[in-house]
Each structure stands twice: as C-alpha cells, then as structure tokens.
C-alpha cells in the first residue's frame, strides 16, 4: 500500500477524513514523441450564470415529515425510500455518487495510458502497466501463489528470533501489517522535522474488540474468520491449514488483549512517547531491536515514538512465550493476507468472501476495472491527479472556495472572540492558532516525482512491493531534513478532506468540490451548508479533543488555562453523552468517546457555516428560492450532503472501527444543538429533536 498503515491510523486519531468513500477504495484495492494519455488541455474558465439556482434537491425531500422530528428524513426521505445499494457496495450516498463520477473520469485517463505505447520509465508506461498488471487475470491465475514463494521461503529459513526481527523490518518496508508498524510522520513536538513512530497492528479482524465480542454475531464472525484463514492456507498450499488457523487466531487474540482501546488512541499527549534509540531495546529485551533498527535504516536518528507503550511492553512477553514455529505460521498469514487481492482469481474471491461479504455485507466484488483504478490511484495518484485537475477542476472553483474559507475563518474568529466560557489567555492562543491555518485547495503546487519507481506489466505483486519500498525509501531519505509543507496526503481525485495538526493545514482535494458539496451554479446558501460545513468541520478539528492539544505552530503543547480546559472537557463530555444515546440497533450504540473529534467537527462546522453565510450576505436580505429562506437552505444543503443508506453489516463495522458517527446522527445529532435551526424551522418543544437551551452543546 502506498499510504502507510501508520499514517492512516494517525490521521484517524488526529483528524479523521470527512467522507466514507475511502473504505470503498480499500475494498478494491521522457518520450521522443509527445505523450497524449497523461496530457490534457487546460480547462477554459466557466463563468457562473447570472441567475443562480437554489441547489436544493427537492425531489429527495419528504415534506410530510416535520423537520423537528427527523431532519434527515425531511431532507432525504423520498430518496431513502427508493434508493438501492449496489450489490458491489456496502453503502450508497451523496459522497459515493461523486466518488463514482471521479472514478469514471480517472478510468478514461488511466486506460488511455494502458492502450498506448510509451517509453519505458515514462509516467504513461507506469500508469498503463500498473493497471494492466492488475487487470491481467490470466497471468495472475497462471502465477497463483508463486509471487509469495520467496517470502514463504525466507520465513521457513528463519532459525531464530533475531532473524525474525530482521525479516519483520524488511516486510514493514513492503507494507505488510505486523504486530506493529514503523513509519514516518511529522514530529508532534517539532513540526519542522520528521519523526519515526510505531503503531499497533497485526490483527486480521478489524479491531481488538472483535476478538472479545461474546454476542452471537461476534462469535459467528470469529468462527467465520478462522474458517477463512484455514481456507486461505489451503488455497496457498501451506501446511496444516486447520491447525495453522487455530494458532493464528489464538496468537492474534493474545495481541488484541494488550492493544490500546481505540478511544484511547485519540489522546495524543499519551501516545507521544519518545524513547532514545539506545533505550528502546530495554523496552522489549526479548526482541532484537538493534538488528531491527539497523535493517529499518533508522540507526542514525535520536529516538522513536512508541505510541502504544503498554502494548509494546506486553508484546515482549508474547514474543518470548510464543515459539518460533508459531511465529513463522503467523508471518506467512500476514504476507498472504496482505497480498491476497493481488493473486489468483480463486484466492482473491476467498479474500472478498470474508473481508467484503462477511464484514461489510457487500454481495459482490467491485468490477475489476474499479479495483484496478483504486490500485493506480493508491500508488501513482499524483501522476493521474495532474491530468484529472487539468480536465475536471475549473480555476474559478478554487477562487470561490478560497472566498468561502476566508469567510469561515472570519466567522470562527468572531465566534472565538464572543465565547462566554473562555478566558482571555486561552482566547489569545486560540485566535493565534486560527490565524496560522493554511488552506490547500484542489491540488499540490508541486507534483510528486515517481521516476525511481519501477513498474512492470506482468508483475503485480512486485509492483506493489516496489511501490511500498519506494515510499519508505523516499521518507527515509528526508528523515532529518525539513518537513515538506507542500506535500499532500490525498490525491486530487479523492472525494474527501482532512486536517493535519502538526502543519495546521486544512486540505480539500479537487474531487470533493462538486455537487452536492459544492455547486458553482447554485446560490451560496446550499454551498455554505454543504462544503462550508466541511470547511468548518476541518477547521474544527484544530480545536477538537485531539487537535486542541497542538498550538498554532503545530507544536504539541498545552496552551489552555486549567479553568478553560476543565470547561472545554465539561462541554465535550455533554456531547459524548448525547451521542452515546444514539442506538441504530437494539444491541449497539454509537461510541460517543470514540466519535468525539468528528462530532465536534460536525457541530462546529455547521454552526460556523451558518454564521459565515450570514456574513457573506453583507447586510443584504437573502432571496427566497424554491420556497425556502436562505437560512433554511443552509440547513437543507447540509442535510442533503449527508444523504445515504448503508447495509447492516457495514454500519456495525463503521460503529466499531470508524471515528465518524453514522450519517443519520451527523444530521440529526448536530442540528438539534444549533440555535438557528430552531429559528429556521420553527422547532417546537413537542418535536422529537427538541433540546432545551441548557442542554444544547456549544463549544466553538
């Protein structure tokens, strides 16, 4: 994988992504003549029409529902009554529609390269051959599990746990998820430099709680997982499939018992444990850290950040008490699991049967071309992204987005200045942080150079290994140097957005800047409700339970007075309790603590978007369009951006592993806390969403 497990985990812990299309992507998985496939004419500016439409999706609404009883159903009810989830998707949503459109656009770019004849080493050759290597199922079937033979042989050849440590360091470079991942991220204490971090990993089930869920569903899923491991060992021709599966599940269960609870990983102060390099071996005396560090290429740095310290200490005992043969069986499983979607049709299908159907409830795999597009996006994303931007991102979209960002920032400034619960010392720090936010819109100023990456049309597994090593080596080469502040962690064709705390930046890729999130032909009210709330959401991550531990320069430090921190925690605790009450199933509730950061982002994002819209009117009265006032359209725009339906299995998995609340509560759970919602829709005390003023949470 191109983006490391460690980066993805840190991004979720610090400021999770805005949309859920990333999971669908995870399911998948210099010429003499002028190249044409990866070149595109610049987009001619498209002037916005003089008469802007409302941007409302009236056909999706169910106006028989009172807005104050179920605002999500009021906005999206007619659509929800008829929408069907595609057999190859775990959900359907507004974001998924935009994602599908972007995927179609990217396919055109990629297939033009695959069908052309380009010089070896050119961007076009790499894009085309990576796509071809995934699509060529005949070659994949002929090779079977052969591409893993060298890995299996290397594991079989291990004679002691020192050799195992060396093997683990090499496998980490190639993206294999082991008991922990070692990777690079900006240093929380010095955001001008890079740091190497560990992160707990190595489980085949989605989260530690899956190993201890004693409900019927939990027991059934664990049994299905063990059968899946056994079946995969059979297909790979590995010895003793049943016994191996039993050993693997038992070992993973021991590790899971020691891993940090997902809620606790949000405590950034607690997970920043920098250990001098020469003291790391004492942390785990039964593991060959000197050899692991040397093989990892990090021997010259001054320390590692061990994020889950107690887990690593406990893992040392597990390492010592578990015999080498059991570890070798486990390591083979980690390799097989990591590469399963790249192998033969039979192995790929079994991998989907568990990871797609059993976990997500998805009935069938995505078409192979969509999975291939995802692989190219994940490994050569900026090569494709450059053309995507030229073809599909008009310049005026960036200009209009910047105007909205400026208005949202101004609204946040006004709100912070007017907070009645915050003292002047903390307020000054908050305003300083806000003034230092860096917005990134559309695409990077400089595109990534992939010239050192080798891609071959007949070597899919090798391509993915080399891609992972390319990223690892690139990161290692810049360790000790200045942080690249122009780098993007998402490609322009990604339907998503993120906040990066150490760089204090909010990032909006080009692909999300489309209806219903952002509509150049629509009146500003729905845009403020949709993309404006997304902007506010990402700014809000800078002031959520994790982001608020970083100052305006991206340094992890406490800039709060004791009194203000206590009041902040009082208010966030009230929000936790609100979301703990949401129960989509009788046996399963939303985890208010785990979703707190995203819920703070949602609440602050919408509240500030309303305020920013009012600022944008500059004293003028908003027009009434399609029978709705400007203020009403802001809320309607927010609600319609979150329309969606999800399979039961996928929703259960989301609640267990995703820091975002289910869509229904991202609408209804938010609007009931915003005073302007009561004004806009004349909400009465008898309405289901009504909260007394003293129970409404206002943080920012």
Cite the beta strand spans of 421-461 per DSSP E: 438-442
Q: How far apart are CA 414 and CA 423, in angstroms?
A: 15
* Separation of CA 439 from chain center: 19
Taken in order of first residue, the domains within the chain and their CATH numbers are 5-58+65-109+371-444+488-695 (3.40.390.10), 147-342 (1.10.1380.10)
pLDDT at residue 30, rounded to an integer: 30
Nearest to 430 by CA among 596, 542, 269: 542
114-152 per-position pLDDT tens digit:
999 999 999 999 999 999 999 999 999 999 999 999 999
Nearest to 516 by CA among 46, 22, 23, 58: 58
Edge to edge, what strands does the sheet with 274-276 contain?
Answer: 180-186, 194-200, 303-306, 274-276
pLDDT at residue 32, rounded to an integer: 29
Q: How far apart are CA 224 and CA 647, in angstroms?
A: 19
87-103 per-position pLDDT tens digit:
999 999 999 999 999 99
Q: How far apart are CA 569 and CA 699, in angstroms?
A: 10
Task: Tell me if the bond preceding 516 is cis, omega within 30° of 0.
Answer: yes
Pair type for strands 644-646 and 91-93: antiparallel
Q: How far apart are CA 405 and CA 532, in angstroms?
A: 8
DSSP 91-110: EEEHHHHHHHHHHHHHHHHH
Within 8 A by CB and 6+ apart from 177, the residues are: 5, 201, 202, 334, 337, 338
Model pTM?
A: 0.93
301-316 per-position pLDDT tens digit:
999 999 999 999 999 9
pLDDT at residue 14, rounded to an integer: 52
Asked whether the beta carbons of 350 and 235 are under 8 A apart, the reply is: yes
pLDDT at residue 34, rounded to an integer: 26
Alpha helices in 452-591 (DSSP H): 460-478, 524-527, 533-541, 562-580
pLDDT at residue 52, rounded to an integer: 82
Q: How far apart are CA 239 and CA 46, in angstroms?
A: 63
555-595 per-position pLDDT tens digit:
999 999 999 999 999 999 999 999 999 999 999 999 999 99
**Which regions of the chain are under pLDDT 50?**
1-4, 16-19, 22-49
Asked whether the beta carbons of 540 and 605 are under 8 A apart, the reply is: yes
- For 626-642, letters b (16+ CB in 10 Å) and e give eebbbbbbbbbbbbbbb
According to DSSP, the residues that pair with 439 across neighbouring strands are 506
pLDDT at residue 6, rounded to an integer: 56
pLDDT at residue 29, rounded to an integer: 37
């Amino acid at each position: 994988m191109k983006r490391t497990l460690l980066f993805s985990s840190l991004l979720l812990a610090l400021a999770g992504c805005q949309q859920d299309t990333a999971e669908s992507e995870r399911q998948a998985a210099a010429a003499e003549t002028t190249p044409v496939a990866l070149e595109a004419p610049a987009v001619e500016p498209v002037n916005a029409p003089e008469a802007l439409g409302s941007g409302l999706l009236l056909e999706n609404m169910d106006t028989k529902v009172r807005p104050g009883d179920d605002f999500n159903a009021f906005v999206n009810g007619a659509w929800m009554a008829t929408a069907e989830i595609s057999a190859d998707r775990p959900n359907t949503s507004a974001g998924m529609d935009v994602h599908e459109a972007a995927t179609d656009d990217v396919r055109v770019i990629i297939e033009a390269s695959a069908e052309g004849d380009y010089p070896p080493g050119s961007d076009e050759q790499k894009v085309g051959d990576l796509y071809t290597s995934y699509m060529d199922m005949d070659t994949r079937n002929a090779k079977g599990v052969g591409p893993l033979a060298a890995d299996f042989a290397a594991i079989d050849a291990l004679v002691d746990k020192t050799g195992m440590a060396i093997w683990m360091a090499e496998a980490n470079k190639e993206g294999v998820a082991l008991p922990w991942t070692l990777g690079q991220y900006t240093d929380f204490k010095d955001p001008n430099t890079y740091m190497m971090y560990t992160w707990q990993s190595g489980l085949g089930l989605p989260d530690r709680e899956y190993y201890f869920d004693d409900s019927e569903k939990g027991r059934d899923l664990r049994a299905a997982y063990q059968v899946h491991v056994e079946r995969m060992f059979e297909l790979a021709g590995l010895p003793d499939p049943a016994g191996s599966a039993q050993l693997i599940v038992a070992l993973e269960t021991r590790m899971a018992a020691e891993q940090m609870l997902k809620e606790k990983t949000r405590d950034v102060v607690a997970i920043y444990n920098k250990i001098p390099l020469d003291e790391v071996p004492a942390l785990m005396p039964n593991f060959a850290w000197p050899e692991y560090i040397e093989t990892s290429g990090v021997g010259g740095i001054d320390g590692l950040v061990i994020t889950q310290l107690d887990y690593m200490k406990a893992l040392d005992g597990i390492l010592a008490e578990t015999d080498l043969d059991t570890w070798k069986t486990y390591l083979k499983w980690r390799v097989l699991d990591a590469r399963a979607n790249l192998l033969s049709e039979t192995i790929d299908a079994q991998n989907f049967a568990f990871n797609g159907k059993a976990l997500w409830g998805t009935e069938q795999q995505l078409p192979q071309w969509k999975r291939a597009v995802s692989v190219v996006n994940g490994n050569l994303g900026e090569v494709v992204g450059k053309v995507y931007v030229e073809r599909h991102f008009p310049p005026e979209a960036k200009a209009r987005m910047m105007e909205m960002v400026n208005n949202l920032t101004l609204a946040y400034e006004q709100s912070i200045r007017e907070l009645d619960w915050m003292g002047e010392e903390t307020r000054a720090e908050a305003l300083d942080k806000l003034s230092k936010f860096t917005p990134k819109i559309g695409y990077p100023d400089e595109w990534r150079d992939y010239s050192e990456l080798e891609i071959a049309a007949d070597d899919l597994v090798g391509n993915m290994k080399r891609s992972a090593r390319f990223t690892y080596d690139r990161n290692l080469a810049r360790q000790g140097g200045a942080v690249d502040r122009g780098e993007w962690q998402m490609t322009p064709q990604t339907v998503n957005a993120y906040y990066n705390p150490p760089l204090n930046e909010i990032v909006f890729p080009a692909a999300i800047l489309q209806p219903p999130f952002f509509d150049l032909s629509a009146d500003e009210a729905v845009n403020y409700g949709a993309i404006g709330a997304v902007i506010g959401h990402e700014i809000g991550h800078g002031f959520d339970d994790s982001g608020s531990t970083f100052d305006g320069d991206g340094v992890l430090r406490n800039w709060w007075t004791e009194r203000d921190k206590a009041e902040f925690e009082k208010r966030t605790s009230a929000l936790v309790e609100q979301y703990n009450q949401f129960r989509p199933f009788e046996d399963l509730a939303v985890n208010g603590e785990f979703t707190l950061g995203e819920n703070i982002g949602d609440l602050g994002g919408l509240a500030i978007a309303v305020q920013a819209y009012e600022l944008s009117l500059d004293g003028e009265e908003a027009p009434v369009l399609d029978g709705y006032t400007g203020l009403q359209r802001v809320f309607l725009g927010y609600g319609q951006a979150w329309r969606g339906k999800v399979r039961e299995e996928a929703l259960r998995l989301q609640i267990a592993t995703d820091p975002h609340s289910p869509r229904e509560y991202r609408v209804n759970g938010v609007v009931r806390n915003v005073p302007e919602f009561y004004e806009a829709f004349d909400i009465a005390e008898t309405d289901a969403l009504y909260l007394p003023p003293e129970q409404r949470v206002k943080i920012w």
